[in-house]
A = this chain, B = another copy of it.
Amino acid sequence: MRRWNGWGDEQFSLELPEQGQAFLTDRVGGGSPLADITLHAACEQVPESRLPSDPQVDDLIDRSPETRVRHARGQSLPDWLAMRSGDIGEFPDGVAFPNTSTDVRALLHYANDKDIQLIPYGGGTSVAGHINPVDQGKPVLTVSLANLNRLMDLDRESQIATFGAGTPGPLVESQLRAHGYTLGHFPQSFELSTIGGWVASRSSGQQSLRYGRIEQLFAGGRIETLQGTLTIPTIPASSAGPDVREMILGSEGRLGLITEVKARISRLPEQESFHVVFFPDWDKARTAARKLVQNRVQLSMLRLSNAIETETQLALAGHPKLIGLLERFLAFRGAEDGKCMMTFGVTGSKAQCRGALAEARKLCSDYKGVYTGTKLGAKWAEKRFTMPYLREALWQMGYAVDTLETATDWDNVDTLMNRIETNLREGLTDRNERTHVFTHLSHFYGQGCSIYTTYVFRVADSYNETLSRWQHLKNTTSDLIVRNRGTISHQHGVGKDHAPFLPVEKGELGMRAIRSLTQSFDPDQRLNPKTLLD
């Protein structure tokens, strides 16, 4: 059963190894956990549903308290604090589970007729408040696309697969793999998030270097809007005016509900492997990473941890003896304190993998990188989706953990990363608290890269103060990002949490452009109001 108040399945949990606990105590102090409320207690808070009855849609709607609790919040840190404190705020008045696009149209008619707000719901993995109801004095109906979860069509020649928008990552891949194909889209939320959610929030996967972001994978599809059905035809590329696909990508439910996604797929690769290189310092490491992508070395993924993330990962990895051996080997080769870990993947035909690996190793070695083979890379691949479970383990120990991400041009990467880290690291000094902060670069482009920063701090002795600590860190850093040439989000989307910062990034006329779309498709603001923009 899925955890009602956190990440993933209840059956699965991670434990922090002993030396990981010691490391954290050393960095931010010992933690003492807050008490969580029970699902039962949460359900008791749920008010009477305000949804009027309508024979056309009643069968599709679940008004039970538990279902409403389970769809009330996403996975942001404030969402966690809400679900664990019991101060959950708004609940949807019901959750609809349409089985077809026709059902979705019926729900849109219902919303129009009865003055109801709709929130589209994919995997509920938003970390930016996308699917949280807001009180505007109207009933709120969350629409889960969970039943639209099938591979509907497979065009092998054009390599296009049509999926129900609610298909989650594992079902996307397993249904394709049965035919010898892959989508290759692996965001960290992969286990729970859905293909429609990826499109709606402009997601990016860990192997975007090979497969592209969801913008490159989304070929077209079907969107049910209050103005009718928008069908986006699949065309490989076009100069026929502004691209309507790109208006749906990132629309976060404001223009309509995506019901079918046609996606560009690939044959399963002949080979794939992940490799780890350690660099003696950040400057060499970052330059090597930049050159790898600017030289178009055919990698499928690339990730570069800064020195503190490298140190933290090795400390939290367990197996102190093996790590000790590794560190002695690296020190002998010149990568000591301040060393930075790079992970890269090669994927494709045997010849492509051989060529890319040789080029990458040569370039890394030009920057004093110490190649350590595929062992650590295989570990990374094995654990690529499990990091969110660690949050639960840390929470039980009294630590809150959150991430912030952006992207910026190469000339600004260091400056912005340092400002973000400093702001987070010093953000709680006034409150006599320390924050442990570390960063990796991922999603590399010729022009720049994404910056993904993790921060850990102790929960306070109350939920309110814990939330206040987070709000301070999040808001000051978000503001800093958009005022320093970063995007408010490279892969998490805008939702409600980032919406106040979007106008700084887009400018007045950029916002006008986006608003002209939402006003045209949803003049009464029935669809996911307050998300993306006011």
Residues of A that sit less than 8 Å from B by CB: 155, 157-160, 201-204, 210, 213, 215, 219, 225, 227-244, 246-252, 255, 264, 266-267, 290, 294-298, 348-349, 351-352, 355, 358-359, 407-412, 443, 445-450, 485-494, 498, 502, 505-510, 512-517, 519-521, 532-533
Bound Cα distance from A436 to B450, whole angstroms: 52
Work out how many copies of this chain go into the complex: 2
A266 with B247, Cβ < 8 A, contacts A236-B449, A240-B502 known: no
**Nearest B residue to A351, CB-CB:** B359
**A411 and B247: CB pair below 8 A?**
no
* CB closest chain-B residue, reference A533: B241
Instruction: Contact check, A485 vs B158: say whether CB atoms are below 8 A apart.
Output: no
Which residues of B sit under 8 angstroms from A505, Cβ to Cβ? 233, 235, 240
Question: Which listed residue, B236, B248, B349, B486, touches A445 by the CB 8 Å rule?
Answer: B236
Known contacts A229-B509, A239-B250, A246-B247, then 18 further A-B pairs from the complex at CB < 8 Å, ordered by chain A residue: A157-B409, A160-B409, A213-B237, A219-B447, A233-B505, A234-B409, A234-B447, A236-B447, A240-B250, A240-B489, A240-B506, A241-B251, A242-B248, A242-B513, A296-B298, A352-B355, A513-B517, A516-B516
Contact B502 A239 (CB under 8 A): no
A411 neighbours in B (Cβ, 8 Å): 155, 157-158
Name 28 A/B residue pairs within 8 A (Cβ), A-sorted.
Answer: A155-B409, A157-B409, A157-B410, A159-B294, A159-B410, A201-B239, A202-B238, A202-B241, A215-B243, A219-B447, A229-B509, A237-B450, A239-B250, A240-B493, A240-B498, A240-B505, A241-B532, A242-B246, A242-B248, A244-B510, A267-B295, A295-B348, A296-B352, A298-B298, A355-B355, A509-B521, A513-B517, A515-B520
Choose one: B236, B448, B517; the contact of A516 (CB below 8 Å). Answer: B517
Q: Are B241 and A250 in contact (CB under 8 A)?
A: yes
A448 CA to B237 CA in the complex, in Å? 9
C-alpha gap A359/B513 in the complex (Å): 45
Separation in Å of the A146 CB from the closest CB of chain B? 23
Report how far A295 CA is from B349 CA in the complex, Å. 8
Q: In whole Å, how far is A491's beta carbon from the nearest beta carbon of chain B? A: 5
Minimum distance in angstroms from A82 CB to a CB of chain B: 23
* Set of chain B residues within 8 Å of A157, measured between Cβ atoms: 290, 409-411
Could you say which of B294, B509, B515 contacts A225, with CB atoms under 8 Å apart?
A: B509
Selected contact of A520 from candidates B159, B267, B512, CB within 8 Å: B512
Closest 8 pairs (CB-CB, A-B): A202-B239, A246-B246, A516-B520, A236-B448, A158-B409, A236-B445, A238-B487, A355-B355
Chain B residues closer than 8 Å to A251, beta-carbon distance: 241-242
Residue in B239, B241, B448 whose beta carbon sits within 8 Å of that of A506 in the complex:
B241
**Is there contact, CB below 8 Å, between A410 and B158?**
yes
Q: Which residue of B lies closest to A509 (CB)?
A: B230
Contact B238 A490 (CB under 8 A): yes
Q: Do A407 and B237 touch (CB < 8 A)?
A: yes
A241 contacts across to B, CB distance below 8 A: 202, 250-252, 493-494, 502, 506, 514, 532-533
Give the Cβ gap from A532 to chain B, nearest Cβ, in Å. Answer: 5
The reply to whether B155 and A230 contact each other, CB–CB distance below 8 Å, is no
CA A336 to CA B149, docked complex, whole Å: 50
- B244 touching A250 by the CB < 8 A rule? no
CA distance A100 to B498 in the complex (A): 35
Q: A446-B159, A519-B516 are in contact. Are A239 and B409 (CB under 8 A)?
A: no
Q: In the complex, which of the residues A233, A242, A264 has the most CB atoms of chain B within 10 Å of its own CB atom? A: A242
How far does the alpha carbon of A297 sit from the alpha carbon of B352 in the complex, in Å?
Answer: 8
A502 to B251, CA, bound (A): 23
The closest CB in chain B to the CB of A239 belongs to: B202
Q: How far is the CB of A88 from chain B (nearest CB, A)?
A: 26
**Residue of A237, A294, A296 ringed by the most chain B CB atoms within 10 A:** A237
Q: Are A249 and B240 in contact (CB under 8 A)?
A: no
Shortest Cβ gap from A251 to chain B (Å): 6
Q: Which residue of the partner chain B has the closest CB to A487?
A: B238
Chain B residues lying within 8 Å of A490, measured Cβ to Cβ, are 237-239
User: In the complex, are the beta carbons of A447 and B239 less than 8 A apart?
Assistant: no
> Within the assembled complex, what's the spacing in Å between the Cα atoms of A296 and B514?
34
Closest to A155 in B: B411
A508 contacts across to B, CB distance below 8 A:
228
Contact A267 B239 (CB under 8 A): no
Within the complex, what minimum Cβ distance (angstroms) separates A207 from chain B?
13
Q: Which residues of B contact A488 (CB under 8 A)?
A: 240
| A243 and B240 contacting across the interface, CB-CB below 8 Å | no
Q: Which residues of B contact A355 (CB under 8 A)?
A: 351-352, 355
Q: Is the CB of A409 within 8 A of B236?
A: yes
Contacts of A294 in B (CB 8 A): 159, 266-267
Q: Nearest B residue to A270 by beta-carbon distance?
A: B295
